[in-house]
A = this chain, B = another copy of it.
Amino acid sequence: MQDPRKVEVVFTPDLFHHYNSKNSVVVVVDILRATSAICTAFENGADEIIPVPGIEEAKEYKKLGYVVAAERDGKVLEFADFGNSPYNFTVENVKDQKIAYSTINGAKSVRLAQNSKLVLIASFINLSAIASKLREIHEDVIILCAGWKGKFCLEDTVFAGALVEKLTGGGLFYTRCDSAVASLDIWSLAKSGLKYYADKAAQTDRLRRFGKDSDLDYIYTTDTSSVIPVYHEGLIKDYQRLMKDQ
């Protein structure tokens, strides 16, 4: 692959089939809150994470001895160990653990992307680390926003814009994708006050109604971690740890 390489943005999993993902690295993003929580878990030493879409599937993993993170409408499910807030993924809760994480939009997205060259998991927490890794890997990039129940969502788009800026800014990547251009423009409006801009997102309202808005300060703080979570055959692992073990 010659430089500059192509970067594209897909606004929801429903549009993913329009893109040539087989020959690209796919970066999955679900800012509120799946990919933010997953990055936090690896920062705090988790061994592996299985993203599961359904509650029944999560229950099965509980029986198999997994630590289970699962909530619906802001409430931790009774069989789960804790809910989906990144604040739950502490060293005490996750170090060296195998975790099943219940996430509808996030799980759907990583599964969709599984036939691409590589699937990385991104959030503001590991933004710069992901950008560095993508510069190293000589492949085209597709940023797949998990969205909300198939619809476009603002917070994933803001992140996509931030990542497109980092990639195209250095000259190693170009874009001719309208979604990437729109993401860059949304990011240009958001970046001077990220958390305030993100207030416009419908999902921010939902989290606030569930009393989960304290998560936002953490989620919108960039580069607190350098983990590179990788999805492969149903499992998310930490790239560095994976390389060390091989």
Bound: A189/B186 CA distance, A? 9
Q: Bound complex: CA of A237 vs CA of B83, how far in Å? A: 54
The 8 A-B residue pairs whose C-beta atoms are closest, nearest first, are A154-B178, A152-B179, A181-B200, A153-B178, A18-B150, A18-B151, A178-B202, A185-B189
Cβ-based interface call for A12 (8 A): yes
Q: 13 extra interchain contacts, Cβ-Cβ under 8 A, other than A11-B11, A154-B182, A185-B189?
A: A11-B152, A14-B18, A15-B15, A151-B179, A157-B178, A176-B202, A176-B205, A177-B202, A181-B201, A182-B182, A185-B186, A186-B186, A188-B189
- A148 at the binding interface (Cβ < 8 Å): yes
Given contacts A176-B202, A189-B189, A205-B176, contact A151 B15 (CB under 8 A): yes
Report Cα–Cα, A179/B151, bound state, in Å: 8
Can you give 24 contacting A-B residue pairs, CB < 8 Å? A11-B11, A11-B152, A14-B15, A14-B18, A18-B150, A148-B178, A151-B178, A151-B179, A152-B179, A153-B178, A154-B182, A157-B182, A176-B202, A176-B205, A177-B202, A178-B200, A178-B201, A181-B200, A181-B201, A182-B186, A185-B185, A185-B186, A185-B189, A186-B186
Instruction: Tell me which residues across on chain B come within 8 A of A182, comparing CB atoms.
Output: 152, 154, 157, 182, 186
In the complex, whether A149 has a CB less than 8 A from a CB of chain B is yes
Complex Cα distance, B186 from A235, in Å, reads: 37
CA distance A150 to B179 in the complex (A): 12
Contacts of A152 in B (CB 8 A): 11, 15, 178-179, 182
The proximity string for A residues 144-167 relative to B, scoring 1 for CB distances below 8 Å and 0 otherwise, is 000011111110010000000000
Interface bits A205-246 vs B (CB < 8 Å: 1, else 0): 100000000000000000000000000000000000000000
